[in-house]
Structure 1
Amino acid sequence: MVQLFLQVPADDGSVDTDAVRARRSLLDKAESVIKSVVRSGGRYEARMWLCSTVSSVHLLDPRDQRDLFLDLLEMKDSRRDVAARLLRMIFDKKPEKAGSVLAKKCHMLEKFFQGNPERILQWFSHFAATGESAHKKGARALAQFAFVNRDVCWEELEWKGRHDQFVYLMYEGNFKDMWQVVEDFLMEEQFSTLSQYILIHLDEQRLLRFLKTLGKLISPNAQCTKLAFPCCWVEVLLSAHIDQISLDELILLNCVIAKGRQLWHLMNDEEHEEERGRMDELVRTMNDLTDADHFALIKDFMGTKFPDALKWIGIQSWVIFCGLSKLCKSADSCESLFTGNSIEFRKAYDYSLVQNDGYSVSHTSDTDDKDLTRSSHKKRKRDKKRRRHRYDSDEDNVDQLLELGTFTGKRAIESQCGSWYLSTDDFSAPWDIADIPDHLSTCYLRVWLKWACFR
């Protein structure tokens, strides 16, 4: 059985130092496996996961956000990729802003067309033929322009042609109107959208500089110490400890703290067969710890630097996730896990509470009926939200059926595989077999990060 250690013990108790030492050795080996997976083919995915986590940062003032991305635009090579992608965003989302620049710089279009007579045909061709749904290229812009009032000037024209001229205006011409359009857009657009669209295309040197600058602009609040949001750990890390950590270490931290399930799937790809075998062996030979042993292990982590403490607790939670992914294959194995770890549970659509000893207790009071009604409302909201994240589930076949979204289909799957309300989240939502490893390892992570790192 996998031990979850979801509660901080009241006292230290007697500690088996050999058992603690053995677990530390296992975590060292697990770190080596993770590094090998990320190094041998998984680097791009791991960087993409880090950018995704960073995009969830929410403690940024709009003006600071603008300055952050302006700093990025001024970096070497950013003219080639960042500026081009940012302008593409502006053209797609705020075409009227690009049009206002065109209206003042009409000679740009004249010069563009004069360069080659065929460009006129290229620009204003590609109208939709019979059976096609929409115009293409410049024809779409011309159709839109004609659709709007004829006295409207270029501001209303959605121009989706070549952008090299606009980049020139920004950098060579230093055209203030163009920079104003960019600055306004950077303040209005959501940080998450900008980050997801731009950061993944940065080289590692610029990405690290971006993260260091971001850290200086973040001021974590009281909610962060309570881990109120999934991004809190990275906000605290960037704001106070970014100078103590390399990009490699940050990528590894993000893998085990925020992207454990994705890391598990990556490791199970064919090209990582060796690493998967090593990790399977580690999980199989994982030694048992008492509450006192585990408490001593956490205290050892606390004696390290903040980033290291995050790393070791994160790796420990990921090892637990791996063990749960191997264990949670049937309803019986899951319920045995719940009982062994003192987790109260209620079978979904059964509504009988199962106590720590495994016996059921019926719910008959009015209060309980009201609670179940509230739970049902929460469940529908939670189910809708969780379906959006179902793409990375451990049980692909089950998830494909769940994606159909039918109530009957969902009940049929859950009756075969099992779905439960758990005391770990106050019975607020049902958890099926595919989600239990992620949920319980995350519960472990939150308990011990809050106790060891965010008090």
Structure 2
Amino acid sequence: MIQLFLSDYNWRDEGNDELVDKRKSLLSELESVLWSLMTSGGRSEVRLWLCNTIAGINSITPYDQRELFVRLLTAHTSKGRLAAQLLQLLFEKQPQKAGPIIAKKSFMLENFFRGNSRRILQWFSNFAGASGLEHRKGAKALSRYAFVNRDTCWEELEWRGKHGQSPAMVATKPHYFLDLDVQRTIENFLEYVPEFWSSSEFAESLKDGEILNIDKRFFVDIFLNFMYKEDMKELWEVIDEFLIEESFSSLCKHLLIVLEEKDLSYFLDLIRKLLTPRLDVAEYSNPSFWLEIILSKCSVASIDQLLLLNALTSQARQLLRLVREEGDLDDKEKVKNIVSQVCPSSFADSLAPIMEGSKKKNLESIKWLGLQSWAIFFRLSEEFRTSESWESLFVNNGIHFQKSDKHGLLDKDEQSEDYGSDLDERSSGKVKHKNKGRNRKKRRRKLKSEESYGDELIDLESLDLQFKADDWLLSTDQYSTTWSSVDLPEHISKHCFYVWIKFVFTGV
């Protein structure tokens, strides 16, 4: 059996330096193995985990998120990469906000098209056929400008075929523009009609921002210049508006990953001043719940500690997979050996040495509790396979439960029996159905007579063994969720971590 350290008598102790050193030494070894596996391919994935957890914080207001990202955009070393990433997101999500800005600087696009036939054809070749539809994009701007200024620029239009088209003819049959040699025409305009590039017709074609899709990298560079060299007020207003309208989750997932780690630490330090998580209600299903508590209570002195603690609390299953699939035999045996010592079966053991140290309320001390909770997760995942083992764990650690034997092969109108532990203050009366046994026999006979798999008949009892799964309602979350044996290791370990840090920060 495993001691979960859920009672305060496991925590209150005068302290023993030898016990403190022993447990910390074991947990440090566990940390070393896990950190090595986490970062074997670099730190990017571990940072991505943290960024995704930050993205799940839902208590940041739109105006606060604008302030957070604007401070990063104006004050720190990663601002160039961050701004480039933000502009990419802006171009993708709301190009119509950026379009009017480039429209006002339309003359700058003369160099964008010069010597680049691909760009010319992408933007100016969208003439309509005989269907009656309008020309689109640059084709619309070119045709309108050519008609308005036909006295001075019509001769610059290059036509395929033996002769050109007159303005009068094209006015009655706009689809004749399909015969225009677009590349040669635009090259003429670049050389002999410079007024076109600052014209209202060309600028109008840019306002919806579709031009940005031709080469986002080019426009990112232009807009970075607008932001930091010209300090363009209009662009900063667009950025402010976008940062308010876009979700905090989207901004974090797209932007934080490009930050240098010192800037990520700075961002987290800004966030912690905005968080007020409730410790009286545990949100086990929200990975960001743990991060909000940790950030609001502890300063981030080391990004490594936070990366590790986030992995322990929000990526427990991923760490288990790394141990099982990526670790060598020495790593696996080392983890098992450490876990067996820090998750004892004896109820005489105490978590007091770590709990006492954690009262310092810094990230280093909370890290020990995170490692301890993951060790519990590991042992539960590795060793607990039967209903009896789980119920024994519940009983011996004071966790009240109700059991349900529902499984997928039961009829929709058939209810299963509910069981309650002797510790449960609420009765869970058993419900039996008169026809239950008869129905099972009927289903078994029908299945054997009608269904087969290969040469063998399907037996209902064997299917019951395969698909039947015990589920429990637990007092750990006020019986609000049905937990299966697959999810219990993570839930129980999270509950332990929650109980411990609640005691550290509130004393209860």
Kindly indicate whether residue 118 of structure 2 is the aligned counterpart of residue 109 of structure 1. no
Flag structure 1 segments of 5+ consecutive residues without an equivalent.
Answer: 128-138, 146-150, 366-410
1:289 deviation in Å? 6.5
Number of the residue aligned with 1:166: 223
Distance 1:11 1:18, change over 3 A: closer
Counterparts of 1:33-432 in structure 2, within 5 Å, are 33-41=33-41, 43-74=43-74, 75-79=76-80, 81-123=81-123, 154-159=206-211, 160-162=213-215, 163=219, 164-215=221-272, 218-221=273-276, 223=278, 230-239=287-296, 241-242=298-299, 245-270=301-326, 273-286=329-342, 288=344, 293-343=349-399, 344-349=401-406, 350-356=416-422, 363=429, 415-432=467-484
> Does the CA-based 8 Å contact 1:309-1:453 persist in structure 2?
no
> Does the CA-based 8 Å contact 1:324-1:437 persist in structure 2?
yes
> Does the CA-based 8 Å contact 1:68-1:213 persist in structure 2?
yes
State the one-letter code of the partner of 2:379: G
Q: What SS is found at the alignment partner of 1:223? A: coil
State the one-letter code of the partner of 2:489: P
Match of 1:446 among 490, 494, 498: 498
TM-score when normalising by structure 2 = 0.66
> Does the CA-based 8 Å contact 1:313-1:445 persist in structure 2?
yes
> Does the CA-based 8 Å contact 1:97-1:181 persist in structure 2?
yes
State the one-letter code of the partner of 1:197: H
What do residues 394-439 of structure 1 show as CA deviations (whole Å, max 9, x unaligned)?
A: xxxxxxxxxxxxxxxxx97984343333332233222222211101
State the one-letter code of the partner of 1:354: G
> Does the CA-based 8 Å contact 2:49-2:311 persist in structure 1?
yes
Q: What SS is found at the alignment partner of 1:431? A: strand
1:72 deviation in Å? 2.1
> Does the CA-based 8 Å contact 2:13-2:352 persist in structure 1?
no
1:17 deviation in Å? 8.8
1:142 deviation in Å? 7.9
Q: Considering only CA atoms, is the larger Rg found in Structure 1 or Structure 2?
A: 2
1:28 deviation in Å? 2.9
Partners of 1:35 and 1:312 in 2: CA distance: 14
The range that moved more, 419-428 or 247-256, is 419-428
Partners of 1:172 and 1:12 in 2: CA distance: 60
Flag structure 2 segments of 5+ consecutive residues without an equivalent.
Answer: 128-134, 142-200, 407-415, 432-462
Distance 1:104 1:232, change over 3 A: same
Partners of 1:439 and 1:182 in 2: CA distance: 41
Partners of 1:125 and 1:263 in 2: CA distance: 54
Distance 1:224 1:418, change over 3 A: closer
Distance 1:336 1:226, change over 3 A: closer
1:352 deviation in Å? 1.4
- CA RMSD, 1 decimal: 3.8
Partners of 1:256 and 1:22 in 2: CA distance: 21
Partners of 1:47 and 1:180 in 2: CA distance: 30
1:45 deviation in Å? 1.9
Q: What SS is found at the alignment partner of 1:5? A: coil
The alignment-based identity, stated in percent, is 35
State the one-letter code of the partner of 1:73: L
What do residues 220-266 of structure 1 show as CA deviations (whole Å, max 9, x unaligned)?
A: 436257555653543454456435x1111121221223322222223
State the one-letter code of the partner of 1:175: M
What count of residue pairs does the alignment treat as equivalent? 389
TM-score when normalising by structure 1 = 0.73
Distance 1:7 1:230, change over 3 A: farther
Partners of 1:3 and 1:270 in 2: CA distance: 29
Partners of 2:53 and 2:269 in 1: CA distance: 15
Number of the residue aligned with 1:437: 489
1:355 deviation in Å? 0.9
1:273 deviation in Å? 4.9
Partners of 2:402 and 2:92 in 1: CA distance: 49
> Does the CA-based 8 Å contact 2:374-2:493 persist in structure 1?
yes
Q: What SS is found at the alignment partner of 2:274? A: coil
1:199 deviation in Å? 0.9
Partners of 1:348 and 1:210 in 2: CA distance: 47
State the one-letter code of the partner of 1:30: L
State the one-letter code of the partner of 1:353: Y
